[in-house]
Chains A and B, each alone.
Chain A
Amino acid sequence: MANMEYNVPTERWPAHPETATQEGQNKFVGFWIFLAGETALFASLFATYLALKDSVPSDDHLLAADLFHLPLAFVMTMLLLTSSLTSVYAVYHMRNNNFQKMQLWLGITVLLGAAFLALEIYEFVEYTGLGHTFRSSAFGSAFYFLIGTHGFHVIVGLIWATLLILRNAKRGLSVYTAAKVNTFALYWHFIDVVWVFIFTIVYLLGVL
Chain B
Amino acid sequence: MAQTSARKQGVGSVIWEYLTTVDHKKIAILYLIAGGFFFVLGGIEAMLIRIQLAVPNNDFLSAGLFNEVITMHGTTMIFLAAMPLLFAFMNATVPLQIGARDLAFPFLNSLGVWLFIFGGIFLNLSWFMGGAPDAGWTSYASLSIASPGHGIDFYALGLQISGAGTLITGINFATTIITMRAPGMTYMRMPLMTWTTLVASVLIVFAFPPLTIGIFLLMFDRMFGSNFFIVEAGGNTIIWEHLFWIFGHPEVYILILPAFGIFSEIFATFARKRLFGYSAMVFATVLIGFFGFMVWAHHMFTVGLGPTANAIFAVATMAIAVPTGIKIFNWIATIWGGSIEFTTPMLYALAFIPSFTMGGVTGIMQAAAPADYQYHDSYFIVAHFHYVIVGGVVFALLAGLHYYWPIMFNTMLNETLGKITFWFFFVGFHMTFLIQHFLGLWGMPRRVFTYLDGQGYNAANMISTIGAFLMAIAVIVLVVNIIITLAKNERVGMDPWGDGRTLEWSIPLPVPYYNFAQIPLVRGLDAYWVEKKEGNGKMMPSESLTDFHMPNNSILPVVMSLGLFIAAFGAMYFPDGQEWAIDAVSGLEPKPWALPVLIIGLGITFVSMGIRSWKDDLGYYVTKEEVERDLEELERGGK
Contact = CB atoms under 8 A, between A and B. Distances in A.
Given A2-B618, A137-B227, A41 B236 contact: no
Contact of B228 (A29, A34, A52, A136): A52
Interface in A132-185: 134-142, 145, 159-160, 163-164, 167, 171, 176, 180
Contacts of B210: 40-41, 43-44
Majority secondary structure, B binding face: helix
A77 interface: no
A134 B224 contact: yes
Nearest to B214: A44
B175 A137 contact: no
Nearest to A134: B226
A137 B439 CA distance: 44
B473 to A, nearest CB: 42
Given A44-B213, A48-B239, A33 B171 contact: yes
Interface stretch (B139-147, B500-508, B608-616): B608-616
B582 to A, nearest CB: 11
Interface string B206-237: 11111011101100110011111010111110
B549 interface: yes
B444 interface: no
Contacts of A36: 205-206
Interface string B247-266: 00000000000000000000
B243 interface: yes
A208 interface: no
Nearest to B211: A44
Interface residues of B, number: 51
Nearest to A40: B209
Contacts of B214: 44
B227 A138 contact: yes
Interface in B281-335: none
A164 B613 contact: yes
Which interface class (under 10, 10 to 19, 20 to 34, 35 or more) fits A? 35 or more
Given A2-B621, A36-B206, A55 B179 contact: no
Contacts of A25: 179
Interface in A50-81: 51-52, 55-57
B105 interface: yes
B206 A57 contact: no
Contact of B236 (A2, A55, A136, A171): A55
Given A52-B235, A160-B613, A167-B613, A41 B618 contact: no
Contact of A135 (B207, B217, B227, B549): B227
A20 interface: no
Nearest to A135: B225
Nearest to A48: B239
Given A38-B209, A57-B233, A26 B580 contact: no
Given A1-B618, A4-B618, A138 B613 contact: no
A37 B171 CA distance: 9
Nearest to B233: A57
B80 interface: no
Interface in B6-20: none
Given A25-B179, A29-B178, A30-B105, A137 B205 contact: no
A3 interface: yes
B414 to A, nearest CB: 40
B32 interface: no
Given A137-B234, A138-B228, A138-B230, A48 B217 contact: yes
23 contacts: A25-B179, A26-B176, A30-B105, A30-B174, A34-B205, A36-B205, A40-B206, A44-B209, A44-B213, A44-B214, A44-B243, A51-B236, A52-B236, A55-B235, A56-B234, A134-B220, A134-B226, A135-B226, A136-B227, A138-B228, A138-B236, A141-B235, A167-B614
Across the A-B interface, the 6 shortest Cβ-Cβ residue pairs = A138-B234, A55-B234, A41-B209, A141-B226, A30-B175, A44-B213
Interface of B: 104-105, 167, 170-172, 174-176, 178-180, 202, 205-210, 212-214, 216-217, 220-221, 224-228, 230, 232-236, 239, 242-243, 246, 549, 580, 610, 613-614, 616, 618-621
